[in-house]
C-alpha cells in the first residue's frame, strides 16, 4: 500500500511539472502616456469689455419713448473663449434705486428688449413692453460661438427701448432717478 501511495505521489509531482512546463509564456508591456483632461472657457463680453457703462435716459416726461441709440455688442470672446454659449440670458441685476421714494419709477418704467445677430437684417423682440421691475430673465439668441474681431456673424446685438407710460397724474414721479444694472450670462448648458 505504501508503494501505491508513493507511486501516486510521484505521478502527481510529474503531472504538476508537466502542467507548469506547458503554462510558460512570453510577455511584453506597452504604455499609454500623458493622458490629459482639460475644461474649456467662456468669456462673454459687452462692447469688447467685461463691463460697460449703460445708457442715460433723461430728462424724460410721461409718454416719451427712447431707444438705445448704439446697440450693445455681445461676444463670446475668442481666443479667451473656446466653448459655445448654448444659453445666453439678460436680466435686471440688483439695481440701485436713487431718490425713488416708494419705488415709484421702479414700478412704472416700461421696457422692450430686442436682439439680433450682427449680420441679420431685422431685430427680434425678446421682451415685449413689460415693466422693468418684472422683466426677470430674458433668453437671447443662441448659440453664440466663440468669435474674434473679424467674425461679425458671431456677434449678437442688443438694444432696448424705455419709457414711462402716459397714464394720468404722475406728479409724484417728477424729479426722480432710477438706476439699474443688466447682467448678461452665457452658459454651455
- Check residue 40 and give its pLDDT: 94
End-to-end Cα, the chain, rounded Å: 81
pLDDT digits (tens, 9 = 90+) for 44-70: 999 988 999 988 998 999 999 999 989
Q: Which is higher by pLDDT, 53 or 21?
A: 53
Lowest mean pLDDT among 12-21, 46-55, 133-142: 12-21
Condensed to tens digits (0 to 9), the pLDDT of residues 98-119 reads 666 667 888 899 999 999 998 8
Distance CA 69, CA 55 (A): 9
Question: What domains, with CATH codes, occur in the chain?
Answer: 44-187 (2.60.40)
Model pLDDT, residue 48:
87
**Does the pLDDT value for residue 17 go beyond 80?**
no
Amino acid at each position: 500500500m505504501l508503494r501505491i501511495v508513493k507511486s501516486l505521489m510521484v505521478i502527481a509531482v510529474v503531472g504538476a511539472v508537466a502542467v507548469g512546463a506547458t503554462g510558460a509564456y512570453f510577455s511584453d508591456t506597452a504604455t499609454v502616456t500623458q493622458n490629459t483632461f482639460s475644461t474649456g472657457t467662456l468669456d462673454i463680453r459687452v462692447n469688447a469689455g467685461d463691463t460697460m457703462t449703460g445708457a442715460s435716459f433723461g430728462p424724460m416726461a410721461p409718454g416719451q419713448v427712447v431707444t438705445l441709440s448704439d446697440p450693445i455688442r455681445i461676444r463670446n470672446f475668442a481666443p479667451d473663449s473656446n466653448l459655445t454659449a448654448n444659453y445666453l440670458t439678460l436680466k435686471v441685476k440688483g439695481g440701485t434705486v436713487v431718490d425713488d421714494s416708494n419705488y415709484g419709477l421702479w414700478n412704472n418704467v416700461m421696457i422692450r428688449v430686442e436682439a439680433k445677430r450682427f449680420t441679420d437684417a431685422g431685430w427680434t423682440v425678446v421682451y415685449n413692453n413689460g415693466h422693468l421691475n418684472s422683466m426677470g430673465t430674458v433668453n437671447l439668441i443662441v448659440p453664440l460661438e466663440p468669435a474674434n474681431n473679424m467674425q461679425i456673424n458671431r456677434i449678437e446685438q442688443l438694444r432696448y427701448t424705455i419709457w414711462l407710460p402716459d397714464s394720468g397724474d404722475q406728479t409724484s414721479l417728477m424729479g426722480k432717478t432710477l438706476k439699474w444694472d443688466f447682467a448678461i450670462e452665457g452658459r454651455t448648458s
